Structure 1
């Protein structure tokens, strides 16, 4: 959680809003190393708590919130609150959508996380994109593979929010 600002996700958030008719909230969390863990995670949680608390004002159902994020870098001592894949027990987590590029530095961790979620009884949808590198969908959003990944995310959210 060393880089990022809400504006970086504007295109994907606008896509979710337009295609799904949802409300999107992006958190402007404090960045490491100036604000080390747990500050960025606490900021993200505060954003989630604010969204749930403000649901009526925002016109949303607090029982149908989705949380998402892209990559987060760190060592083996990173808290599971910052990187859920580091948690020992994944049972009881909500349904998950995990996607990763084949050439992604986090690929093996994502594959393992998705498998552990499924083994823990968590409904999990997993996509591995052949030939895709870290940030492929942001760097080349018009590429066929990027558009396919975006469509898969929208479809998963549509299914999850329709329940």
Structure 2
């Protein structure tokens, strides 16, 4: 059911793209649609062809996830790169219920080519088959593995960040909290791209984005319910599953957060940035006017999304150059 509450308008250029996107991807995802969502193919060319065209080498590894599960990771480097350099652990999006390690490939290509970074893009197990804490613990396991094997992977462990969009941003934030609380790997930064942080469905923006855009209020409830089951919205949810619940964010690394004004996650992302500042953490926040969820991947040539990429890549480059 759609809402009558007013919302910020979509950027006109993005609204044209959104009309095309919603013919293939409806704004509302219900639990019965999860199999269909997983079968969708977002690529016009295969990931391997995209990597080949970009001049990026791929090496596959396996890492230990939650309870010792063997999971896949791909290590991406510029062809001909040797020695050690900055690294990015990349956690894909998909609402906790879909996606794989290739979904956000356009995010990481500039980091490999322009910043000479090694990008480790990982698989984690999806809900509802693997509910919390499987996904975030899988991601933390990947972080520990990447740090322990940094030399072999060509990563300077002092210049390693974690990054991810949407659900991947939420899982990256959760893994960073786990690293802080367990005395785990020290991260140089976390790049949270329109992250999925709050299971409680209580913000203005979740009410505004209902039956419109991409990943609306009902979709968000579908994703969180798959991850948390009956615990969603109760007091029995950890800060690692839903980082917006964290009371104290002190001790986290420098953080980048972006989102659009016309997406469900707007208010929780702004609140997380504010909580980071309150805890004394350096954080950079961008709220893009008229942006819908995932617009950077769905309309990469639009002026707003070009600006999103530029701001994000500038921050990543600054952090990795230290």
Q: TM-score scaled to structure 1, two decimals?
A: 0.95
Compute the displacement of 1:83 (Å): 3.1
Higher Rg of the two aligned structures: 2
Give me the whole-angstrom Cα distance separating, in 1, the residues matched to 2:306 and 2:273.
Answer: 22
1:142 aligns with 2:301: yes
Deviation at 1:85, TM superposition (A): 2.3
User: Does structure 1 residue 64 correspond to structure 2 residue 166?
Assistant: no
1:52 lines up with 2:211 in the alignment: no
8 A Cα contact 1:19 1:154, kept in partner: no
1:98 aligns with 2:193: no
Q: How many residue pairs align between the two structures?
A: 163
Tell which deviates more after alignment, 1-10 or 101-110: 1-10
Equivalences for residues 1-163 of structure 1 within 5 A: 1-72=96-167, 73-74=223-224, 75-77=232-234, 78-163=237-322
Does 1 or 2 have the higher relative contact order (CA < 8 Å, sep 6+)? 2
Distance apart, 1:102 and its partner CA? 0.3
**Matched residues in 2 for 1:102 and 1:152: separation?**
16
- The 3 A distance-change label for structure 1 pair 86 and 119 is same
Q: Is the 2:106–2:297 contact (alpha carbons within 8 Å) kept by the matching residues of 1?
A: no
- TM-score, structure 2 length as denominator? 0.49
Q: Which has the higher strand share?
A: 2
Name whichever of 130-139 and 78-87 sits farther off: 78-87
Q: Say whether the 8 Å CA contact 2:159–2:320 is kept in structure 1.
A: yes
* Aligned-pair Cα RMSD in Å: 1.2
State the alpha-carbon separation in 2 of the partners of residues 143 and 57 from structure 1: 39
User: Which runs of 5 or more structure 2 residues have no equivalent in the other structure?
Assistant: 1-95, 168-222, 225-231
Segments of structure 1 that go 5 or more residues without pairing to the other structure are none
